Structure 1
């Protein structure tokens, strides 16, 4: 719609042309305004008509703010602007933002009042120059045939009949209108059949990028699209692609997206591989669609091949799509390659890369070689974005412990405890276990206390690994203190907790305390298993030569329904026999 300002200017200009400026040739009647309603368009359009071909024209000297004949001087700097009524005109006759562009046709030249984006006639209707006239009834007739036909043969016969009856004008615009008018539930075979029919009857209307693009997009969006129809469309496009310049990147991208939708990764890769042959250049979306299509079939090696070409070209999609590519590569155990994609996107200042960090850091942490890269990437998390990333940070801690970089793991844990994300018990356990194995017991105990200060309750496993560290160092008293503390905090301990003490006392050859620990274990309701009995009996026989306590343990096993291996059972008998032989040699009667 016109603004009131634009309409007023148009009417003023019309009046000035009709009444204020007489014809150049006085003998020629002045122009009149005649309404000529076009038959093919509901919008009226105004033209100037005259009994003679010689009427006043708006010449090259005419200005937007005034009309002069060829002898009138043009306004110069400092001169007043002559308005359309011949007087002084305000400065704001020039176009303003939001006004519309109005054209008055008055001869060989156009006078335009600028004020908007659209070109309008004097009553505000948008007018396209030389636009072909399209009969909507003919479009509807063709759509009805395509939507109601069940086979390509019937479509062709019906369209041939309609072509003769209604004298269809198969222009590019008509073909485009038909394709756009078809509903999404129309079969893709109908679209392809119609296109082939047009190609046979009016080749130029089908062989242009616009029509081909509409066909491909409509087939892709078809609700009833089948794999056979998709391959039929691809065969047609390949044939059309022999003509240079007919296909473009957008058309081929639509084809790749279509095969992605149908989970046909190899077909999408075939389209991608023919870009050069068709004279097209892949863009960021091309690489993204192809990788997604390959991802549907877990074709990770082919996907990485496409990624390498993407990196070589430097054409990357937006940040959210980079995240999906990174996730795809990490799913295929290609975290190192995914890091290359992320790094290039970062160099190009592509935004919204944060979502790609989680899968990338997790993937890098799973491989010993790339754990340091995962540690570096933690710096890319924006402040506040790592609030809920404790699992991701924890995976880096675990990776550092796995490669025995315990000090880096401890520093990262302390950083998490001070500034976030808050570490959980599992993260503390990773580091405490590694420190205990390394004999760094002072640091291990300090982390236990830090854990408690953060409101986390050390579990039985945490106490057990600390006890194990002390026991390995021969510090059984310290291990027993940890055991006592664990027993206060937890009603029932695990067999492994007692096993740490038992094995520690056996290592120190304090077998009496080891046996006492087994008794306490049973009193606490934790039953030793077969392996525990077996190892204790072997230790008593081989190191302490104490077959009597070993035999007592054997009887306990029988009462508990446990079975001792024959080799260990025979070991008890062998030690007993050995003691008897030694006693006989010394003349001592064994007790």
Structure 2
């Protein structure tokens, strides 16, 4: 019986609250036991008397002619009407009440929760204040409003558009000083997103100061997303040191950096050319195996290549390759080219060529050419030739520039036989040796004193090309001057015009200096000087002084000889 009575009492309370809602009456949500006893005792008395007096009443409880049980029921309660509707007709699971304890159910907990409603007038006043330039103290104006601060209210203010960022930061500082209000992660997230969307230098630093203060006062409020937003903001503003400061605070705030944390920090540091700091962050990223997506890894590689850290960038490349990251081809090509600039890293670039296949390899002429040039520069010409042979078999097809690099490498090394072999291989590929090819071969022969072979190559070049370059003749003129065959050198100088080549200052300068220093032939040198003036060329002062000095020296020698003869 007592369980039945308790159940009925409970249903009475629920019906009363439901009826009040239907009538749009605002009732505070208090637990059942908190209502005044004076107002409840008559109701309960009527409820119990009705229940005991009509134990067998099966009529529908509280239903009236208009079909609305709640309205009449509530009306009866409010007017102290003695007619209390019966609940006998309601199905009540009495066995389910065995474990019922007042104030211990989920429903009771929900009833005890205070429902918060934002005061529209106060919200409008705050927004009006923050959206304008404040005359006097912002904090004083806020204090005068007597605000009932709640998380929903603060978030609503922060997320409202057209509010100055500096006012939002001051508002939150004021909120933090209010007793009873604790800044939550939701509030911080909203503020950071709003301030970061409008990249202003002063607001960024003020926001960071506020976030640090929050993190130092309360644990668990800051998260990785908030800190990443700040790092990205400082990166956008070009403030690498500030971004690094945020990154260094992760451990203090109980946060673990993720892929975005590392990426934005490295980006901020490399933008300011702090490549050493950027590499220290990158090492942590590699150690924790927290690489971002392939597109971002490619950017990191490019940044370090620009900063002269190609070897370090190669380490990032290997790590990404181990994680099966798909890197942008432009970044890989840039890395290969950067590695080829330093002798000690050319071999690393050579190894990277194995990563090309299919159509990707077919169009990779630029990185392959860079490796060939790097190998030739480091005097590893045989390996460069092997790369060409691989290119012929698997692609990309080598062009004149690649062959010329190897020909030049062999020519500088004095291995003219191999240089000629590469030239022949070039021709079998349907490529025509250009003027540069012939010039480097002639240079190789001339440096070795083999002027006859050099002239043979010149004759072959004349047959294939109607116009040669000044460098071609300069190479041979220098060679003849070296072995003191100045007549042949002068003949080449005259021949240049016949093949559309205008002698430049270098040819004249080399000949005049050789004539003056080696054979003291100032007369020929002076003729060349006059020829230069006719062609509009200017001889530098040192060489002109050399002609005068040799001329005077010869005159003095003649005078001495005449004096000696007379004596």
TM over 0.5: yes
State the alpha-carbon separation in 1 of the partners of residues 374 and 234 from structure 2: 39
Post-superposition offset of 1:286: 1.0
- Is the counterpart of residue 237 in structure 1 residue 220 in structure 2? no
State the alpha-carbon separation in 2 of the partners of residues 426 and 251 from structure 1: 52
- Is the counterpart of residue 566 in structure 1 residue 545 in structure 2? yes
Post-superposition offset of 1:163: 4.5
Post-superposition offset of 1:467: 1.4
State the alpha-carbon separation in 1 of the partners of residues 351 and 114 from structure 2: 60
State the alpha-carbon separation in 2 of the partners of residues 142 and 456 from structure 1: 82
Question: Mind listing any 5+ residue stretches in structure 2 that lack a counterpart?
Answer: 26-68, 71-85, 97-104
Contact kept? 1:57, 1:109, Cα under 8 Å: no
- Is the counterpart of residue 218 in structure 1 residue 194 in structure 2? yes
Residues 269-319 of structure 1, C-alpha deviations (whole Å, 9 max, x = no match):
111111122222112211111111122322222212222222333322222
Query: Who is 1:145 aligned against?
Result: 128
Residues 204-253 of structure 1, C-alpha deviations (whole Å, 9 max, x = no match):
4x4222221221122111x3x42111111111111111122222222111
Query: Who is 1:412 aligned against?
Result: 387
Residues 528-586 of structure 1, C-alpha deviations (whole Å, 9 max, x = no match):
3455345435555666687776665466456556655333454467679989999999x
Match of 1:356 among 331, 351, 355: 331
State the alpha-carbon separation in 2 of the partners of residues 420 and 313 from structure 1: 38
Q: Of the two, which has the highest radius of gyration?
A: 2
Give SS of 1:308's match. Answer: helix
Question: Mind listing any 5+ residue stretches in structure 1 that lack a counterpart?
Answer: 1-23, 41-47, 61-107, 111-128, 586-591
Query: Who is 2:28 aligned against?
Result: none
Matches within 5 A, 1:257-272: 257-272=232-247
Post-superposition offset of 1:501: 2.4
State the alpha-carbon separation in 1 of the partners of residues 308 and 353 from structure 2: 20
Query: Who is 1:345 aligned against?
Result: 320
Contact kept? 2:477, 2:507, Cα under 8 Å: no
Match of 2:164 among 184, 187, 201: 187
Give SS of 2:360's match. Answer: coil
State the alpha-carbon separation in 1 of the partners of residues 201 and 129 from structure 2: 20
Question: Residues 316 and 502 of structure 1: is their aligned pair in 2 closer, same or farther, counting only changes over 3 Å?
Answer: same
Match of 1:321 among 271, 296, 318: 296
The answer to which structure has the higher helix fraction is 2
Match of 2:405 among 430, 437, 459: 430
Query: Who is 1:113 aligned against?
Result: none
Question: Residues 202 and 216 of structure 1: is their aligned pair in 2 closer, same or farther, counting only changes over 3 Å?
Answer: farther
Contact kept? 1:398, 1:430, Cα under 8 Å: yes
Tell me how many residue pairs correspond in the alignment. Answer: 481
Question: Residues 155 and 534 of structure 1: is their aligned pair in 2 closer, same or farther, counting only changes over 3 Å?
Answer: closer
Query: Who is 2:479 aligned against?
Result: 504
Query: Who is 1:372 aligned against?
Result: 347
State the alpha-carbon separation in 1 of the partners of residues 521 and 165 from structure 2: 88
Post-superposition offset of 1:518: 2.2
The worse-fitting range, judged by mean Cα deviation, of 498-507 and 251-260 is 498-507
| TM-score under structure 2 length normalisation | 0.71
Query: Who is 2:494 aligned against?
Result: 519
The worse-fitting range, judged by mean Cα deviation, of 133-142 and 571-580 is 571-580
The worse-fitting range, judged by mean Cα deviation, of 506-515 and 568-577 is 568-577
The worse-fitting range, judged by mean Cα deviation, of 208-217 and 149-158 is 149-158
Question: Residues 342 and 477 of structure 1: is their aligned pair in 2 closer, same or farther, counting only changes over 3 Å?
Answer: same
Contact kept? 2:215, 2:221, Cα under 8 Å: yes
Query: Who is 2:260 aligned against?
Result: 285
Question: Residues 130 and 487 of structure 1: is their aligned pair in 2 closer, same or farther, counting only changes over 3 Å?
Answer: farther
State the alpha-carbon separation in 2 of the partners of residues 295 and 464 from structure 1: 43
Contact kept? 2:445, 2:453, Cα under 8 Å: yes
State the alpha-carbon separation in 1 of the partners of residues 212 and 378 from structure 2: 53
Residues 163-210 of structure 1, C-alpha deviations (whole Å, 9 max, x = no match):
55xxx4x33234334433x22x43212322332333234654x42222
State the alpha-carbon separation in 1 of the partners of residues 522 and 231 from structure 2: 78
The worse-fitting range, judged by mean Cα deviation, of 395-404 and 566-575 is 566-575
Contact kept? 2:155, 2:190, Cα under 8 Å: yes
CA RMSD of aligned residues (A): 4.4
Question: Residues 458 and 140 of structure 1: is their aligned pair in 2 closer, same or farther, counting only changes over 3 Å?
Answer: farther
Contact kept? 1:541, 1:575, Cα under 8 Å: no
State the alpha-carbon separation in 2 of the partners of residues 287 and 530 from structure 1: 56
Residues 101-160 of structure 1, C-alpha deviations (whole Å, 9 max, x = no match):
xxxxxxx999xxxxxxxxxxxxxxxxxx97955448469626742662223966545555
Question: Residues 300 and 53 of structure 1: is their aligned pair in 2 closer, same or farther, counting only changes over 3 Å?
Answer: farther
Match of 1:51 among 82, 87, 102: 87
Question: Residues 411 and 57 of structure 1: is their aligned pair in 2 closer, same or farther, counting only changes over 3 Å?
Answer: farther
Matches within 5 A, 1:579-590: none
Post-superposition offset of 1:268: 1.0
Contact kept? 1:145, 1:155, Cα under 8 Å: no
State the alpha-carbon separation in 1 of the partners of residues 360 and 227 from structure 2: 38
Post-superposition offset of 1:347: 2.5
Give SS of 1:565's match. Answer: helix
Post-superposition offset of 1:434: 1.0
